[in-house]
Amino acid sequence: MSRPGSHSGHKLHDHGRYEPIRAVTAHPLCQRKRHHAAKRVLYEVEVSIVELVDLTAPDALDAVGLTIDDICADDHSPCQRVGGAAAWLASGGLLVPSARTEDSNLVILVGTLGLDDDLVIVNREIIKHQGPE
């Protein structure tokens, strides 16, 4: 379930260009309101992770005992168990379905990044809360 490769805080389009990932809409399967903090920090990073667990394939969530409902739930413990197992196995991160969009999220397990992994912060932007969704 892991694959070598390089992933960044950007979405790769079919034509090979990247654009920053800025999720603002809810995933169709997770339409309930979420409460947000007063501000968030958006980091643009360049990252290369050799051991990456990819849970975006249709059967990948089932293989680790998760469903899309687990991804969308307020109870994060099932997802935390999978993340904990990936960390224990020294994975550098997970590529997972997003609860907010039909895209994916890259979860970087900073504590388990290896010598062959790279993480460079390119930009940092504070995003202030605009009011209720």
**Number of domains comprising the chain:** 1
22 has a pLDDT exceeding 60:
no
- Whether 133 maps to a domain, the answer reads no
Residue 125: burial class (beta carbons within 10 Å; 0-12, 13-18, 19+): exposed
Residue 87: burial class (beta carbons within 10 Å; 0-12, 13-18, 19+): middle
98 has a pLDDT exceeding 50:
yes
Give the helix/strand (H/E) hosting 10: strand 10-12
17 has a pLDDT exceeding 60:
no
What percent of the chain lies above the pLDDT cut of 70? 68
51 has a pLDDT exceeding 60:
yes
- Whether 39 maps to a domain, the answer reads yes
Q: What is the mean pLDDT of residues 55-71?
A: 92
- Whether 59 maps to a domain, the answer reads yes
Between 61 and 7, the higher pLDDT residue: 61
pTM, two decimal places: 0.62
- Whether 65 maps to a domain, the answer reads yes
pLDDT at 128: 79
Residue 13 CA neighbour count, 13 Å, CB half = 6
What range does the domain containing 121 cover? 2-25+33-128
